[in-house]
Structure 1
Amino acid sequence: MFSTVTARRLSVGTVYKLWFVGLGATLLPLGLLLGICALSGYNTVTWNGQPLHGVGALFAGPAIGLGMALLFTALLGSCAAFGLWLCSWFRPLSLKIKNLN
């Protein structure tokens, strides 16, 4: 089941990894879906204010999703790391993790 782990601090790399996995797992499939829609003629993928269609949109959609995931990871991960660092000054962090068994 679940175990509780108490930690004084999380490493910054762990915070960034959690943000990137969470955002990448949602924004990449969304970019692929929007690329498929643009492949069939919808104006769902734009670059430089111009809508992309065809195979170019099929590749640009996930690439834009990956870029957005990287950008949001950098911004939100930095904010989260700073907030967790501030929180570590007052009390330890308690995490519930699921065991592999």
Structure 2
Amino acid sequence: MYRDIKVKRISAGSMLKLIAIGLYLSIVPLSLLVGVLSLFGIGRVMWNGRPLYGLTALIASPFVGVFLATMLTAIVWAGCSFGLWVFSKYRPIVLELQEADLPGSER
């Protein structure tokens, strides 16, 4: 069950965690898939302007994904931090949360 909470602002560290988890768990597997596809000759991985194919692309693709996810995390986090800081000056933020079930807790 979801419940709404009103918060004045969200910490920059919490936003960084959310953005990083989302981007790393989507971009790195996608880049690994591109590496596997290039292993079979379906596409390529670009590194320093050079196309990589085959086993080299499979080895390089996770590094490309981590690099891309890191850069996007930094850019998106900076923009979101500034935007939500400005937004918090005018009104509180309403979030929908689902509580986690803690082990050993009875309801």
Corresponding residue number in structure 2 for 1:17: 17
- Matched-pair identity in %: 38
State TM-score, norm by structure 2.
0.87
Does 34-43 or 20-29 show the bigger shift? 34-43
Alignment of 1:1-101 (within 5 A): 1-101=1-101
1-side partners of 2:42 and 2:50: how far apart?
13
- Deviations for 1:66-101, whole angstroms, at most 9, x for unmatched residues? 111110110111000000000110111110011224
5+ unaligned residues in a row in structure 1: which ranges?
A: none
**How far has the Cα of 1:30 moved from its partner?**
0.7
Helix, strand or coil at the partner of 1:69: helix
Give the paired residue count. 101
**How far has the Cα of 1:32 moved from its partner?**
0.5
2-side partners of 1:45 and 1:70: how far apart?
18
**How far has the Cα of 1:10 moved from its partner?**
0.6
Which is higher, the Rg of structure 1 or of structure 2? 2
5+ unaligned residues in a row in structure 2: which ranges?
A: 102-107
2-side partners of 1:16 and 1:48: how far apart?
28
Contact 1:42 1:53 in 2 (8 A): no
- Deviations for 1:8-51, whole angstroms, at most 9, x for unmatched residues? 11110111111111111110111000000111123420112221
Contact 1:39 1:53 in 2 (8 A): yes
Helix, strand or coil at the partner of 1:6: strand
1-side partners of 2:43 and 2:88: how far apart?
46
Give structure 1 regions of 4+ aligned residues with deviation exceeding 3 angstroms.
none
RMSD: 1.2
